[in-house]
């Protein structure tokens, strides 16, 4: 198995499996060896699942031999963030108080992927409790800080740190992550991979650790936009076991995409200049011109005017306090790695109900504002993060090194998009020095196919998603 295999897209791997260039067992063993050898290098792996993965690979080989084809993910190894339960396997949520925790059921997404013939090779590292309570350092995990394959002195991003590192380093062809407010988009951007945050309710969270019932979403980190589309098609769908399920399915249909020159995309020039890290500006400006060259109509606009950070804070805080109340009151919260997170979780018990309810009322206005916004525009184009990954030694709450522009642009789109429950796509678009940076596309609820179509066209004209770190 050459590096070309480890960095190949799902579509290519599936075609090679069907042509019998290698068996699923050979492919799975190769990825397992790579995970075992390189996973610790990036603090990316929480659990290696050798025996279960090889058993599944043998089953897939039997189906392929009989030409029982089950779809694009058949025979494809993958990893899942360690907040997703896999029956009989430890699921530690990245936190010492839950080390060794075992569930007697698979998460719905794990079950769906098994049905498609995908092979679960590993549980991937994460920030403890998906960052609930807030954390100050990347080391807030029982696995240690997520290390970026492009530079191990830099962070891979939270809270799906292992998922970002594993895909970027070619340890898995794709991984599942979760997002409450930025935890798919951030590691995707920092690690130079493609990440998709689905519409709230499109993908079941049954079997996933809850951080915020009204915000949590599960989605893929992949090599390409096309890969994200196929993974989402597999994991999406209604689920009576998830009270937040929208009861909708998703079919990846790039062949039915509207012509790009009929799409109106909102953007703010200040995002690519004033808000952008100086080292990232050339990459962002070049990517903006590529996007303009696709034919979409770029129209200047601004994010609806709401205090998104002040709204999302009480929502996550109050809901996580209820979820982790036993951990906090029982004292085991003190076993967490990050002092700021410990203090934050304890303080969350004191959030007044009036603050939570006020935030939820404002949130309903935010949803309405975004509905009205997307009546005018098909999508938003901005940056995934304003610059590249920070060093693992730097505190995440450090003061900005430069003043913020007066023009807000779309700078609050991560908390805003999560509060509104709308989908977003992170696309690698270049480098700031040796580190990747990325664009973000956002659209109205259940409009994943539109942003995937724009993203696919962008990746057909660029090769940033094909770049590989030196391993």
Per-residue pLDDT of the chain (471 residues; tens, 9 = 90+): 889 999 999 999 999 999 999 999 999 999 999 999 999 999 999 999 999 999 999 999 999 999 999 999 999 999 999 999 999 999 999 999 999 999 999 999 999 999 999 999 999 999 999 999 999 999 999 999 999 999 999 999 999 999 999 999 999 999 999 999 999 999 999 999 999 999 999 999 999 999 999 999 999 999 999 999 999 999 999 999 999 999 999 999 998 989 999 999 999 999 999 999 999 999 999 999 999 999 999 999 999 999 999 999 999 999 999 999 999 999 999 999 999 999 999 999 999 999 999 999 999 999 999 999 999 999 999 999 999 999 999 999 988 878 889 999 999 999 999 999 999 999 999 999 999 999 999 999 999 999 999 999 999 999 999 999 998
CATH architecture of the domain with range 3-254: Alpha-Beta Complex (3.90)
Q: How far does CA 447 lie from the centroid of its chain?
A: 17
Structure pTM?
0.98
Number of Cα atoms under 13 Å in the Cβ half of residue 72: 18
Pair 241, 109: CB distance under 8 Å: no
Closest among 292, 217, 164, 256 to 445, alpha carbons compared = 217
> How far is the C-alpha of 45 from the C-alpha of 62, rounded, in Å?
29
- Give residue for tokens 């969270």: 205
Q: Which residues are catalytic?
A: 81, 159, 183
Residue 46, both tokens: 């929480």
H helices of 335-445, in order, are 339-348, 353-373, 413-420
* Interatomic CA distance for residues 290 and 461, integer angstroms: 8
How do the domains of the chain map onto residue ranges? 3-254, 265-307+364-423+433-447, 309-357
Task: Write the CB contacts of 394 (distance below 8 Å, at least 6 apart in sequence).
Answer: none
Using DSSP, state whether 426 is helix, strand or coil: strand
| H-run or E-run covering 407 | none
């Amino acid at each position: 198995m050459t590096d070309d295999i480890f960095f190949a897209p799902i579509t290519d791997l599936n075609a090679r499996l069907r042509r019998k260039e290698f068996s699923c067992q050979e492919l799975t063993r190769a990825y397992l060896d790579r995970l075992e050898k390189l996973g610790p290098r990036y603090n990316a792996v929480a659990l290696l699942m050798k025996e279960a993965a090889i058993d599944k690979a043998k089953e897939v080989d039997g189906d392929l031999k009989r030409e029982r084809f089950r779809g694009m993910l058949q025979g494809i190894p993958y990893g899942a963030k360690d907040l997703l339960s896999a029956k009989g396997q430890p699921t530690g949520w990245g936190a010492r108080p839950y080390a060794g925790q075992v569930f007697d059921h698979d998460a719905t997404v794990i079950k769906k992927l098994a049905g498609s013939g995908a092979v679960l090779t590993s549980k991937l590292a994460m920030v403890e409790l998906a960052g609930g309570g807030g954390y100050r350092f990347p080391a807030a995990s029982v696995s240690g800080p997520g290390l970026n394959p492009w530079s191990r002195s830099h962070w891979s991003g939270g809270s799906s740190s292992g998922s970002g590192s594993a895909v970027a380093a070619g340890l898995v062809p794709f991984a599942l992550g979760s997002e409450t407010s930025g935890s798919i988009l951030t590691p995707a951007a920092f690690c130079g991979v493609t990440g998709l945050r689905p519409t709230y309710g499109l993908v079941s969270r049954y079997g996933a650790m809850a951080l915020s019932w009204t915000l949590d979403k599960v989605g893929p980190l992949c090599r390409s936009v096309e890969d994200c589309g196929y993974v989402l098609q597999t994991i999406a769908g209604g689920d009576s076991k998830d009270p937040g399920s929208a009861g909708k399915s998703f079919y990846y249909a790039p062949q039915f995409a509207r012509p790009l020159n009929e799409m109106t995309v909102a953007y703010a020039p200040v995002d690519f200049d004033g808000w952008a890290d100086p080292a990232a500006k050339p990459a962002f400006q070049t990517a903006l011109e590529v996007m303009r060259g696709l034919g979409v109509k770029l129209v200047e606009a601004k994010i609806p005017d709401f205090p998104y950070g002040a709204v999302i804070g009480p929502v996550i805080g109050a809901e996580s306090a209820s979820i982790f109340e036993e951990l906090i009151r029982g004292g085991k919260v003190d076993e967490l790695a990050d002092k700021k997170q410990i203090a934050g979780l304890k303080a969350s018990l004191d959030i007044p109900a009036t603050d939570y309810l006020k935030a939820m009322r404002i949130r309903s206005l935010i949803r309405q504002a975004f509905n009205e916004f997307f009546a005018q525009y098909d999508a938003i184009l901005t940056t995934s993060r304003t610059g590249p990954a920070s060093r693992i030694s730097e505190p995440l709450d450090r003061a900005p090194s430069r003043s913020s522009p007066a023009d807000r642009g779309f700078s609050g789109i991560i908390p805003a998009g999560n509060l509104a429950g709308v989908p977003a796509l992170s696309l690698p678009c270049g480098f700031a020095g040796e580190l990747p940076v990325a664009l973000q596309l956002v659209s109205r609820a259940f409009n994943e196919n539109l942003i995937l179509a724009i993203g696919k066209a962008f990746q057909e004209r660029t090769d940033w998603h094909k770049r590989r770190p030196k391993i």
